[in-house]
Structure 1
Amino acid sequence: MIEDLPEEMDRKRLGGDRYPLLGRYLKVNFPMAHYPTVLKAIIEGKPYKVRAMFIMGGNPALAIANSSMAVEALKKVEFLAVADLFMSKTAELADIVLPSASWLEYDGLADSAQATYGHLRIRRKVAQVGEARSDTWIMIELAKRMNLKGFWGSEEEYLDYILKPTGYTFKEFDEAGGIIYHEPEVGKRLKKGFDTPSGKIELYSERLKEWGFDPLPFYREPFESPYSTPDLAKDYPFVLTTGRRVPAYFHTAGRNIPGLRDLYPEPLAEINAETARELGIEDGDLVRIETPRGYVIMRAKLTHGIHPRVIGVQHGWEGEANDNRLTDNQRCSEGMGSTTLRGLLCRVRRVAQ
């Protein structure tokens, strides 16, 4: 589908010119717009006005850097539609919310390139409740209503398309219950080489050099650190690391499930025990962590397993515990446009219970 996108449309991809590794040079299947650039275009109307967004299974109000800017943009866009299993913080801002079916409510496929070259059959186990539909059904029906060409007529036609390289139709695959269409071949790369100009693993990337980027990995001091911004570090003396995963959850998902919430009921911030003692913070105290962009409030978890000058916060919580209130999304990496989620400056203090 993406290969049918006209060149003039690809040129309009927000951030594509500034961050050419984001889909253009790397030849990925889904050339992407640059999310921070999209948010900025919604707010400022430049280089053109983004009037509508359709978000499926995503929660940018919490999940992306500088969530305050994300919420501002989501509120400002003229039309926002969201498809999700739950009423997420992003869905709460939408004009229309489409209820998505879970993987137990529809027939489909599952695969894992990390395990083997094969597909597993997902069989529908329960009836779809109310108006819930699969994301595939939603996209196909939306294409029909918009009279878009090149889409499939049904979910089964789409599954046939996915399975086409295997030589199976979905009906044949269903009868087989699952297939391995390509046995793993040990030493394949030794015979055929890698997908690089030399056919070898390249520590020195000829392609990056050709595209105008440094061909070797190198270290660059973060835009905000005790070394690059020493004056700022006087007010924000600690280094923040975000994204601490919680085993019961995946990113922002799962916290509305009572059994999981019982395991991990509240957001935690890891602080070195000696540092906490100097600051008058005890284990279990509520603490306020601030960066130049915002603050979060979490419960302190004292540990000797973190550097004395580092504060670690968990990811995926809502409200005043949302770690992306602390992060920046305008000073991005060269070429790819990634945001800095760690290595930011912060300060911490105890707050009243």
Structure 2
Amino acid sequence: MMTDLLLKYFRTKQQQVQSERTYDTQCPFCSMQCKMQVIEQSVVTRKRYKTIAKDNPTSEGRLCVKGLNAHQHATHRDRIKYPLLKVNGGFEQITWERALAIIKEKFEEIQKEHGKNAVSVYGGGSLTNEESYLLGKFARVTLKTKYIDYNGRFCMSAAASAANQAFGIDRGLTNRLSEIEETDCMILSGTNIAECQPTIMPYFERAKENGTYVIVIDPRKTETTKLADLHLQLKPGTDAALVNGLLKVLLDEGYTDASFIEERTKGFKEIEQHLSMMKLEEISEHTGVAIADIQKAARVFGAKKTGMIFTARGVEQQTDGYMAVRNLLNMLMVTGKIGKPSCGYGAITGQANGQGGREHGQKADQLPGYRSIENEEHRAYIANIWGIEKEDLPRKGVSAYEMFEKVHEGDIKAMFIMGSNPIVSNPNATYVKEALKKLEFLVSVDMFISETGQLADLILPTTSYLEDEGTMTNLEGRVTLREASKEKPGQTKHDWEILCEISRVMGKEKYFSFTSAEDIFNELRVASRGGVADYYGITYERIRKNDGMFWPCPTLEHEGTETLFEESFQHTDKKGIMIVVANESNVPKEKASNEFPLYLTTGRIMSHYLTGVQTRKSAALAARNVESHLQIHPETAFKYGIRDNMLVEIESKRGKIEVRSLLSNEIRQDTVFVPFHWADSQNVNNLVSKELDPTCRMPGFKVTTVKVKSVHEQVNQ
């Protein structure tokens, strides 16, 4: 009897699971690009999903909590599945035919009245290489506008500019990830990898087990600093000065590689003279780091045979982020720890395709292959590939934030946004919101109605990572292929299809006659050929066969370049360039005062990604952190009458937000921290200054002076 009941139970269960499908893909979030399978089961009237990790050379079969739950946003009921037109303050579903007709009419009307540059394009660092490439081509060929930039400007621009100027090439890591565990010493500057990109952590943990000495530079104690042998807990915004202190010890105490400096670099004498006039006492006072700790860090790094330096947003998102990173690259060159096994530099890319997204034309000043839009030879090459006259190719525009200044100035009248939510991600966010409201026409291409989408005149529905095939370039410069076989829901279209459709109705079909992502990649390969970021020798077939391929890869016979600078740097004279870096930025940073006595710094938490549009649609992720918070030292909190889990008002010169307090001994007493994944009254970027790094145009997200008080105190007043 019991056996019959069990058989009946299992037959019922088997019948309930009517079908099962498996989708091979990779995580849509950080630059590790972890491979995975999403298993879809049809159960009676609903579908259920589970995610399992796949082995691969980068993440070695690991997934973090975001990857495990990514399918929750891709299958969310709030997905936009049809074009939406704003009518009387609300959105109405319309056909693609009408949506395309409206775009054609509005863009042509605005450009006829105000000129080609009156229409702008704003991209994203999570687009595939194919779509990043096509977006740049769309802006310059279909719209003929010079105004295009993307949110990666706020992620990698300081590190990218620094590496390009110092080495002649910008690739996230100069070495393979596997070399991390073999190095003798490493410096992690402004990077909280344990929480931001946890699947990379085992490389660093194995290094630690192997005896690697770990130095972490960060104003906060984080999960990453727990790995450190030495934590330099500096005052926010003083990174460049701290590195000058490290360099001074290296030079004064003879921890330099004279032959490497002589044969492979230039600019050393100027640095030597500059540092001879500095005093460690002054640097210690300026940074808040003890002289003994500065000396210890420099001596260990200098004495070890091999060493690596890694940077991320903590050091880069400053108005002197470019110079701070240049100074860290100075350290590598004076000690000769570059271009050798287990020696090198790593910029820990944040966004999914932050690396590839900046290589092929989304940035205001770049053309595919990391070519310069102002270089006549580069312009001629790309114009020829695209089949247009060189003279018809626009010149460079302005950076992402500066486009909103152009809106306020009246130069930009329309904006086409693909894969980004600038209201939340930009500094001086209220100003950006006001700019978007001023536009005569705003188009948002997205999976959801984001905070930016709410202001759009037209929203176009795009596909998710499960549906949209294409290549991505991960943080070590490995080009990977994201397979995507799930059917498109409703009337969604791939980003590349949307660009082709708009180009068709605007009379540019012959330039955009692609039928697949691979078609686009094959044109990208040719467009990048001979450039710094040369993808010509990489094909879909070779990526599949080799589990990804490193660029540069100039021919179909080339195996890809795993380690850069083994024999020379990328500059014409083959030498790396060192430069003098001042302790203080030439763009003045805010200083703590009686009115605004605390330093605010921002960053990520593990369960959310960027502006949270996708992760807040995941129930499993949203439940971990339902709202933002203010991390504040208990003694600082006591001084301002703040208790744990209390609603707190944070105010800067630009505005106010309200979040809950989180008391922690892990932060300096003069510093507070707020994550940037929330919008509206919790949008920390409402507080951040509009000042930009003069070289790379990076905003100073990491240094804002603020005051805090409990909302309870305000009510009682």
TM range (shorter): 0.7 to 0.9
> Which residue does 2:574 correspond to in 1?
199
Matched, 1:266 2:630: no
- CA change 1:202–1:177 in 2 (3 A) is closer
Q: Which runs of 4+ in 1 moved over 6 A?
A: none
Flag the structure with higher helix content: 2
> Which residue does 2:640 correspond to in 1?
279
> Are the counterparts in 1 of residues 365 and 372 from structure 2 also a CA contact under 8 Å?
no
Q: Which 10-residue stretch deviates more, 32-41 or 280-289?
A: 32-41
> Are the counterparts in 2 of residues 240 and 343 from structure 1 also a CA contact under 8 Å?
yes
> Are the counterparts in 2 of residues 121 and 174 from structure 1 also a CA contact under 8 Å?
no
Provide the C-alpha distance between the structure 2 equivalents of 1:44 and 1:187, rounded to a whole number of angstroms.
46
- CA change 1:168–1:152 in 2 (3 A) is farther
Q: What SS does the corresponding residue of 1:234 show, helix, strand or coil?
A: coil
> Which residue does 1:218 correspond to in 2?
582
Provide the C-alpha distance between the structure 2 equivalents of 1:175 and 1:296, rounded to a whole number of angstroms.
48
Q: 1:309 aligns with which of 650, 670, 695?
A: 670
> Are the counterparts in 2 of residues 236 and 346 from structure 1 also a CA contact under 8 Å?
yes
> Are the counterparts in 2 of residues 42 and 51 from structure 1 also a CA contact under 8 Å?
yes
1:316-341 CA distances to partner (integer Å, 9 max, x unpaired)?
Answer: 20111101110121x32223332221
- CA change 1:153–1:197 in 2 (3 A) is closer
Q: What SS does the corresponding residue of 2:616 show, helix, strand or coil?
A: coil
Provide the C-alpha distance between the structure 2 equivalents of 1:159 and 1:187, rounded to a whole number of angstroms.
24
1:277-327 CA distances to partner (integer Å, 9 max, x unpaired)?
Answer: 122211111110000100111111111111111111111201111011101
Within 5 Å, give how 1:47-196 maps onto structure 2. 49-112=411-474, 114=476, 116=478, 118-124=479-485, 126-148=486-508, 150-155=511-516, 156-162=518-524, 166=536, 180=549, 182-183=558-559, 185=561, 189-191=565-567, 193-196=568-571
- CA change 1:263–1:311 in 2 (3 A) is same
- CA change 1:186–1:316 in 2 (3 A) is closer
- CA change 1:346–1:199 in 2 (3 A) is same
The AA in structure 2 aligned to 1:245 is R
The offset of 1:270, in angstroms, is 0.8
The offset of 1:110, in angstroms, is 3.4
- CA change 1:141–1:151 in 2 (3 A) is same
Percent sequence identity is 26
Provide the C-alpha distance between the structure 2 equivalents of 1:130 and 1:344, rounded to a whole number of angstroms.
44
Unaligned runs of 5+ residues in structure 2 are 1-132, 150-160, 162-362, 374-395, 527-534
1:129-154 CA distances to partner (integer Å, 9 max, x unpaired)?
Answer: 11111111111111111112533432
Q: Decide which structure has the larger Cα Rg and report it.
A: 2
- CA change 1:248–1:197 in 2 (3 A) is same
Matched, 1:294 2:634: no
The offset of 1:185, in angstroms, is 4.9
The offset of 1:196, in angstroms, is 2.4
Matched, 1:246 2:621: no
Matched, 1:345 2:681: no
Provide the C-alpha distance between the structure 2 equivalents of 1:145 and 1:298, rounded to a whole number of angstroms.
46
> Which residue does 2:75 correspond to in 1?
none
- CA change 1:283–1:256 in 2 (3 A) is same
The offset of 1:14, in angstroms, is 9.0
Provide the C-alpha distance between the structure 2 equivalents of 1:259 and 1:339, rounded to a whole number of angstroms.
32
> Are the counterparts in 2 of residues 110 and 122 from structure 1 also a CA contact under 8 Å?
no
> Are the counterparts in 2 of residues 14 and 37 from structure 1 also a CA contact under 8 Å?
no
- CA change 1:108–1:225 in 2 (3 A) is closer
The offset of 1:28, in angstroms, is 4.9
- CA change 1:121–1:178 in 2 (3 A) is farther
- CA change 1:29–1:158 in 2 (3 A) is farther
> Are the counterparts in 2 of residues 288 and 348 from structure 1 also a CA contact under 8 Å?
yes
1:90-110 CA distances to partner (integer Å, 9 max, x unpaired)?
Answer: 011100001110021133333
Provide the C-alpha distance between the structure 1 equivalents of 2:477 and 2:696, rounded to a whole number of angstroms.
28
> Which residue does 1:207 correspond to in 2?
none
The AA in structure 2 aligned to 1:40 is E
Provide the C-alpha distance between the structure 2 equivalents of 1:14 and 1:138, rounded to a whole number of angstroms.
17
Q: Determine which structure has greater relative contact order: mean sequence separation of CA pairs < 8 Å that are 6+ residues apart, divided by chain length.
A: 2
> Are the counterparts in 1 of residues 147 and 364 from structure 2 also a CA contact under 8 Å?
no
- CA change 1:160–1:296 in 2 (3 A) is same
Q: For this pair of structures, how many residues does the alignment match?
A: 320
The offset of 1:168, in angstroms, is 7.2
The TM-score with structure 2 as length reference comes to: 0.41
- CA change 1:73–1:313 in 2 (3 A) is same
- CA change 1:144–1:322 in 2 (3 A) is same
Q: What is the RMSD computed on CA atoms of the aligned residues?
A: 3.2
Provide the C-alpha distance between the structure 2 equivalents of 1:294 and 1:85, rounded to a whole number of angstroms.
30
